[in-house]
Amino acid sequence: MNVPLGLEAWDSAADAALPEALANLIEMFPGPAFLVDGDGVHMHGNVIAEPLLAVLDSLPLDAPLRRSLIQVVRSGKSVQRSMKLPDLMPERVYDLSLIPMPGDGQPVSLVLGRDVSVERNLKTALISAREMYKSLVECSADFAWETDARGQFSFVSPRGALGYSASELAGSPVARLFRPAADEIDPFQSSEPVDAHEIVAERADGKEAVLVASSRPYFGAGGAWRGCRGVCKDVTAERRQAAALARADERERLLGGIIAAIRAEVEASDMYDACLQRLVPAMAAGGAIIFRWPHAAGEGPVAVARLGVKARDALAVARTLPRDPDGRATIEMRSDDDNWLYAVCGTGKAPLGGIAVRRDRSRETWNGDERNLLERVGGHLGIALEQLDHREELLRLARTDPLSGLLNRHAFESELKMRLERFSEPHHAGALLYVDLDGFKKINDELGHHAGDEALVRVASILRTGSRAADLVSRYGGDEFVVWLHKTDLDGARKRAARLLSDIAELRASNPSLPSTFGASIGIAVGSGAGLKTVGALLQAADRAMYESKHKGRNMISVMDDAALRPGRGKGDA
């Protein structure tokens, strides 16, 4: 029997075959196998054990591993130990089983090893990966979860979700958060992978939340579906922000279209009409009005444009609106049938007007985007209204005499020409009064030009007060005035001229500083004859009649016959 070196100390003569069997066991063992004595010295080992034995032999006797081996061998008990070989690359780890061998001499133990490096490394990697994913889940703002076959949450990331804690959701049904429609994908209960699917869930406070969900089903033995695992990202804030930006872009687009429509028009009325034609459909409104506030205090609003609203209703609504809304950008009002939204039209100095849009009460109320749009439209309309005011002021200055406020010569002749062309029939006839003040030069010479200007203003006021809306009154020259009496015959013209002389006489009597010669010479021409069809002919006839009054003694009334142009006069007659 060939006994390997180290086994000669084996004290078991009763069974000589045992050492050889042991030797064969050591050699054929699939892992490291060797014998070690009570001093921690190995006696025999197989080839696989050589790297391990080399490390063991290199250790000093007081090394922890050698001391552990010595203690185990001397104790005569079977134990298991792990041994690392850190000097090897990659690091090797062995599970060692120490089995005491029977004998009466030196204690000996059989050491059988198993290379568990791969298992240990895999376990370490799995633990590390688990810790990594656990940390990622805990740090992530996303909502990670797992559901079971019953449709309940079996796992929820520690942060919880949608106002619920993880403990509140764990074990609760998915329906607590999400109830899919009949044809909607359910990422919590899907048997197919789901990627970036958007759903609307319910928060703990009952409000809606928009989630982007991705999930994967998992299966048990035999391929049975057991549930889903996935993550949900709460994108409610992002969707709201995107929606707000989209609404802002839409507002800018609508506002740009309205502004472009306003700028494309020349006439103010066309500007306002173009604005309403764009604004009403953009706001899903049933109608709208634009109005101006008069400059005079106490006067009511004046509608300048309307769409889908009757004129009577438009003014009725406008009269209820405040001129100054106490800093509020928009005001919502309700009538029996309509919801009205009102915005001031101004430029920051003062309200110039307003715009109001109407919607049936059965529809939804006005939202913030619509309020914002109307407010901004009101701002641009305020600029348009201010420009209109400036234009009208320039037109007024171009048409009126700055001292008296009456029509100037050019404006009077232009307006009278249009009147004569428009009302050419005999029953539309009118009369022209040509008024020249008597004694006016003496006022300027003796009292000064300021007194003269004041006298002119007083006479202008008398002419304006005694005239109708359809009449035309003009300061025609320095101390000359003309009055066109609309649809007035000769008899009516005489009465008006006589009343004018009487009013001027009262003015003279109430102002002792005025000279006694202060009065007026008046000429009348009636525009009903064949010879007085033009502005020039009427003015010439009335002027000749006025000079006739001058020649006959002043402060008189004379009439020019349109056929023979023969003067006729009547001193103070009516």
Nearest to 481 by CA among 536, 405, 561, 572: 405
Residue 239 in domain:
no
Confidence of residue 135 (pLDDT cuts 50, 70, 90): low
Domain count, the chain: 4
Considering the domain architecture, whether residues 288 and 326 belong to the same structural domain is answered as: yes
d(C-alpha 470, C-alpha 487), whole Å: 9
Whether the per-residue pLDDT at 313 is higher than 80: the answer is: no
Give Dmax (Cα) for the chain: 180
**Quick one: pLDDT at residue 11?**
46
Residue 305 in domain:
yes
Whether the per-residue pLDDT at 127 is higher than 90: the answer is: no
Residue 296 in domain:
yes
Considering the domain architecture, whether residues 278 and 385 belong to the same structural domain is answered as: yes
- What average pLDDT does range 482-506 have in this prediction? 93
Helix (H) or strand (E) holding 403: none
Least confident of 94-103, 125-134, 489-498: 125-134
Q: How many C-beta neighbours within 10 Å does residue 422 have?
A: 9
CATH no. for residue 315?
Answer: 3.30.450.40
Least confident of 6-10, 114-118, 535-539: 6-10
> For the stretch 461-488, what's the b/e string if a residue is b when 16 or more beta carbons lie within 10 angstroms of its beta carbon?
ebbeeebeeebbbbbbeebbbbbbbbeb
State the pTM of this model.
0.52
- What average pLDDT does range 107-114 have in this prediction? 88
Confidence of residue 117 (pLDDT cuts 50, 70, 90): confident
Considering the domain architecture, whether residues 81 and 149 belong to the same structural domain is answered as: no
Considering the domain architecture, whether residues 458 and 360 belong to the same structural domain is answered as: no
Residue 77 in domain:
yes
Q: How many C-beta neighbours within 10 Å does residue 122 have?
A: 11
Considering the domain architecture, whether residues 200 and 256 belong to the same structural domain is answered as: no
Nearest to 321 by CA among 264, 395, 378: 378
- pLDDT tens-digit series, residues 216-242: 999 988 889 999 999 999 999 999 999
In the block, tokens 């696989």 appear at 48
CATH no. for residue 491?
Answer: 3.30.70.270
- What average pLDDT does range 410-417 have in this prediction? 92
**Quick one: pLDDT at residue 332?**
84
3-class SS of residue 341: strand
- pLDDT tens-digit series, residues 354-394: 888 988 877 778 888 888 888 888 888 888 888 778 887 88
Considering the domain architecture, whether residues 267 and 364 belong to the same structural domain is answered as: yes
**Quick one: pLDDT at residue 86?**
63
Residue 12 in domain:
no
- What average pLDDT does range 517-533 have in this prediction? 81
CATH no. for residue 228?
Answer: 3.30.450.20
Considering the domain architecture, whether residues 61 and 158 belong to the same structural domain is answered as: no
Residue 399 in domain:
no
Which one of 363, 394, 425 terminates a domain? Answer: 394
Which one of 179, 203, 234 terminates a domain? Answer: 234
- What average pLDDT does range 312-321 have in this prediction? 75
Whether the per-residue pLDDT at 534 is higher than 90: the answer is: no
Confidence of residue 302 (pLDDT cuts 50, 70, 90): confident
Least confident of 125-134, 135-144, 309-318: 135-144
- pLDDT tens-digit series, residues 336-352: 778 888 888 877 667 78
Q: Which residue has the higher pLDDT, 214 or 65?
A: 214
Q: Find which of 53-57, 97-101, 147-151, 324-328 is predicted with most confidence, using mean pLDDT.
A: 147-151
Residue range of the domain that includes 181:
140-234
Considering the domain architecture, whether residues 185 and 256 belong to the same structural domain is answered as: no
Q: Which residue has the higher pLDDT, 70 or 327?
A: 70
Q: Which residue has the higher pLDDT, 90 or 1?
A: 90
Residue 177 in domain:
yes
Residue 523 in domain:
yes
Burial class of 446 by CB neighbour count within 10 A (0 to 12, 13 to 18, 19+): exposed
- pLDDT tens-digit series, residues 262-282: 777 777 778 888 889 988 988
**Quick one: pLDDT at residue 546?**
95
**Quick one: pLDDT at residue 419?**
84
In percent, the amount of the chain with pLDDT more than 70 equals 88
- What average pLDDT does range 176-203 have in this prediction? 92
Considering the domain architecture, whether residues 557 and 416 belong to the same structural domain is answered as: yes
Considering the domain architecture, whether residues 456 and 532 belong to the same structural domain is answered as: yes
**Quick one: pLDDT at residue 377?**
87
* Residues sharing a CB contact under 8 Å with residue 242, sequence separation 6 or more, in sequence order: none
Least confident of 97-111, 181-195, 270-284, 311-325: 311-325
In the block, tokens 């740009």 appear at 256
Which one of 183, 210, 234 terminates a domain? Answer: 234
Considering the domain architecture, whether residues 426 and 360 belong to the same structural domain is answered as: no
Pairing state of beta strands 431-438 and 153-156? Answer: unpaired
Considering the domain architecture, whether residues 421 and 287 belong to the same structural domain is answered as: no
